[in-house]
Amino acid sequence: MGIFDFLTGEFIDVIHWVDDTHDTMVWRFQREGHEIKYGAKLTVREGQAAVFIHEGQLADVFTPGLYMLETNNMPIMTTLQHWDHGFESPFKSEIYFVNTARFNNLKWGTKNPIVCRDPEFGPVRIRAYGTYTVRISDPARFLREIVGTDGEFTMDEISYQVRNIIVQEFSRVVAGSGIPVLDMAANTADLGKLLVSEIAPTLEGYGLAIPELYIENISLPPAVEAVLDKRTSIGLAGDLGKYTQFSAAEAMTAAANNPGGGGVAAGLGAGMGLAMAQQMVNPGPWGAATPAPMVAPAPPPPPSVEKVWHLAENGATKGPFSRASLGRMVGDSSLARDTLVWTAGQDGWLKAGDIQELAQLFTIMPPPPPPGV
């Protein structure tokens, strides 16, 4: 724990402490029954202070430096003991070394949500966490108020109390700041400074100070954050109708990716999307929107134009003939499969039997018998 040297005889000649734990705040110098030699050397390093306790009373406090323990360096001790100028006898006192360096990267956070009133959303619950730095600003007061007779006092023994003070003041500062929740992230530095100023008087009574405090995050409950995300999405979409169509498309995509029931879910999602769109356009008696105008049905398409055909016989053309007329001509054998026919849009003259529309006419009547039968 510490490194100290003893005189090989009865008296302590050198007093000092080297800490290698990084979390010890106060350490009591072990005399082991030996008395301190008058004129002994006391070494107090940077980031330390040495406090003498004599017969249960707090005596002298030594800041960094090298001291010869004599009457001129121990005014309070000299007064308590009524030492005269020529006093050179050994004495017994308890010596506490106090670590006055900063203890960094300590964590704090709200264990339970803090309820505050937001000007936009009303009552909301928030959580926060961050880090802070603490140091002993008044060694004598810290010994009286916190340490007592503890021979080795670590940061863990006081950190819980400091965290409770931070959380309590944070709740009060945030509740009275009037800063909207959505703007707190941009004001964490100012909130941290304000929080330090509110905590300082309480910690000063313990002999402590907080040089730095950081608010790393202020968050809302997950359900509220999800609603805010949805509201942000609607704002980005701009048009509620388009946003509804977008949501319906997302539902259909999600349903299509579901191998267990994609078809039914997709149809259901599309139906819900269309119903939502119709409801937004015409919300009914409870809404203030104007009903959607009636849409006239589309006119029927124009009737198709029937093809007409021309026949080529003996170097002359006949026609035009409709398909029904050609059917009758097949029946009286005046139209054969080899007869050349033409219609608008056809590339040149073709045999009637090679045209699909006319070839069906020849299946109604059997073909003529072959020659010689």
What CA–CA distance (Å, rounded) separates 245 from 343? 49
- Kindly tell me the burial class for residue 219, based on how many C-beta atoms sit within 10 Å of its own C-beta (0-12, 13-18, 19 or more): middle
230 confidence band (pLDDT: 50, 70, 90): confident
Mean pLDDT along residues 9-19 = 79
What CA–CA distance (Å, rounded) separates 27 from 17? 9
64-85 pLDDT per residue, tens = 999 988 877 787 777 777 666 5
- Token digits for 45? 């390093």
Residue 34 has pLDDT above 80, yes or no: no
**Of 63, 60, 106, the residue nearest 203 (C-alpha):** 106
Mean pLDDT along residues 155-160 = 92
Residue 110 has pLDDT above 80, yes or no: yes
Fold category of 103-222 in CATH:
Tetrahydropterin Synthase; Chain A (3.30.479)
Mean pLDDT along residues 2-23 = 69
Mean pLDDT along residues 289-312 = 69
Given a contact cutoff of 8 angstroms between Cβ atoms, the answer to whether 54 and 81 are in contact is: yes
**Greater confidence, 230 or 264?**
230
Mean pLDDT along residues 47-60 = 88
HSE at residue 211, side-chain half, CA atoms within 13 A, is: 11
Residue 16 has pLDDT above 60, yes or no: yes
Domain spans, the chain:
11-99, 103-222, 238-281, 308-363
Mean pLDDT along residues 163-184 = 86
- Kindly tell me the burial class for residue 103, based on how many C-beta atoms sit within 10 Å of its own C-beta (0-12, 13-18, 19 or more): buried
pLDDT at 24: 93
286-298 pLDDT per residue, tens = 444 455 556 667 7
Fold category of 308-363 in CATH:
Dna Ligase; domain 1 (3.30.1490)
Residue type, 117: R
pLDDT at 116: 84
Beta strands in 9-78 (DSSP E): 11-15, 24-28, 35-44, 48-54, 57-62, 65-68
What CA–CA distance (Å, rounded) separates 356 from 330? 15
What CA–CA distance (Å, rounded) separates 367 from 258? 59
Residue type, 124: V
For the CA atoms of 84, 87, 93, 98, the dihedral, rounded to the nearest 10 degrees, stands at 80
pLDDT at 4: 43
**Greater confidence, 94 or 25?**
25
Residue 243 has pLDDT above 50, yes or no: yes
Given a contact cutoff of 8 angstroms between Cβ atoms, the answer to whether 339 and 313 are in contact is: yes
What CA–CA distance (Å, rounded) separates 84 from 72? 10
pLDDT at 6: 41
Q: What percent of the chain has pLDDT over 90?
A: 25
Hey, how many other C-beta atoms are within 10 angstroms of the C-beta on 248? 19
pLDDT at 286: 47
**Of 93, 94, 55, 59, the residue nearest 75 (C-alpha):** 59
What CA–CA distance (Å, rounded) separates 214 from 107? 10
**Greater confidence, 136 or 81?**
136
pLDDT at 262: 47
